Structure 1
Amino acid sequence: MSVAVISGDGIFTRAMLRARDLDASARFYDAALSPLGWKILGPFDDERMPWDRNKPAFPVVRPGTGEASSSGVTIGFAAEATRGVDAFQAAGLAAGGTDEGAPGQRRHLPGAHAAYLRDPGGNRVCGYAFGDGN
């Protein structure tokens, strides 16, 4: 039996962002995703750094043409509880991210607790949890 190398839990195969400075992105995502149970699974080479719990579903890659990162997409990472969202925000800010929305309840979706950051490359990411669990 073969095991898929890249998995997105049945919805997507992966979500990929581009970043000119992979070292800064590695520091940011190592810090911000650690409270959510994610870890770095690479690098694949000097152009790609993947993260996930067990399969490389979230790679950050160096743009092939040297262009700037996109800011039109937000990638959300699931947290087990609201404290994970809060830890995601604190760790991401400490690792060079910028605040795009403090941790808290979101009016548009009852029970949603989220925090938004821009990574060092300008990409927008968030930590999200549902329910009242801490």
Structure 2
Amino acid sequence: METQQLHRGRLIDHLHLVVRDLAASRRFYQAVLAALQVPMGGEGADYFWADELFVSSADSDSAQGRLTGRHHLAFQARDEAMVQAFHKAALAHGGTDNGAPGPRDYHPGYYAAFVLDPDGNNIEAVFHGKARRSAASVQIDF
């Protein structure tokens, strides 16, 4: 796997999910990441990845034969329309509704949607409201 460019900007360096059905997960994550305008980074016979997210089958070397447990993972969205597109894409590609798009009481401006991926992970897209960022992300070139 050859990485030439990454974008980083928050706390997590990467997250690895080990899934039962890699093909089903690939369809789901390709659709929701496309809705969030995050390109796929690469794939192999037993894995795929996009930016900080690495997904593999239990047969991959890094999984050591074990599935990961249930997780809550939140993707950042640029606006409310992107949250809605994420939710629609997730439901059309094997996801289960776990909270329709809408405002949440977590903080003013918090707008999110929740779905369960094919392995039952709680996947969220969130827009934190209008704010100014100093940069979209930190670019790392190798």
Unaligned runs of 5+ in 2: 132-142
Deviations 1:96-118 (A, max 9, x none): 10011110000122110000011
Q: Which residue of 1 aligns with 2:139?
A: none
The structure where strand makes up a greater share of residues is 2
Give, as a single letter, the amino acid of the residue that structure 2 aligns with 1:42. Answer: G
Check 1:59–1:68 CA distance in 2 against 1; reply closer, same or farther (3 A cut): closer
Give the TM-score normalised by the residue count of structure 2: 0.77
Unaligned runs of 5+ in 1: none
Q: Which residue of 2 aligns with 1:61?
A: 56
Identify the match of residue 86 of structure 1 among 76, 84, 87. Answer: 84
What's the secondary structure of 1:122's corresponding residue? coil
Give the TM-score normalised by the residue count of structure 1: 0.81
What's the secondary structure of 1:16's corresponding residue? strand
Within the alignment, does 1:24 sit opposite 2:24 as a pair? yes
Residues 47, 54 of structure 2: 8 Å contact kept: yes
Q: Which residue of 2 aligns with 1:97?
A: 95
Q: Aligned ranges for residues 1-134 of structure 1 at < 5 Å?
A: 8-43=8-43, 45-52=44-51, 57-63=52-58, 64=63, 67-71=66-70, 73-131=71-129
User: Per-residue deviation at 1:9?
Assistant: 2.5
Q: How many positions carry a matched residue from both structures?
A: 125
- Rounded Cα–Cα distance in structure 2 between residues aligned with 1:91 and 1:76: 15
User: Per-residue deviation at 1:124?
Assistant: 1.3
What's the secondary structure of 1:18's corresponding residue? strand
Give, as a single letter, the amino acid of the residue that structure 2 aligns with 1:50. Answer: W
User: Per-residue deviation at 1:14?
Assistant: 0.5
User: Per-residue deviation at 1:7?
Assistant: 5.8
What's the secondary structure of 1:40's corresponding residue? coil
Check 1:100–1:69 CA distance in 2 against 1; reply closer, same or farther (3 A cut): farther
Deviation above 4 Å: which 4+ runs of structure 1?
3-8, 65-69
Give, as a single letter, the amino acid of the residue that structure 2 aligns with 1:25. Answer: S
What's the secondary structure of 1:23's corresponding residue? helix
**Which deviates the most, 102-111 or 80-89?**
102-111
Deviations 1:62-95 (A, max 9, x none): 1246555421x21110010000000000000000
- Rounded Cα–Cα distance in structure 2 between residues aligned with 1:77 and 1:101: 15
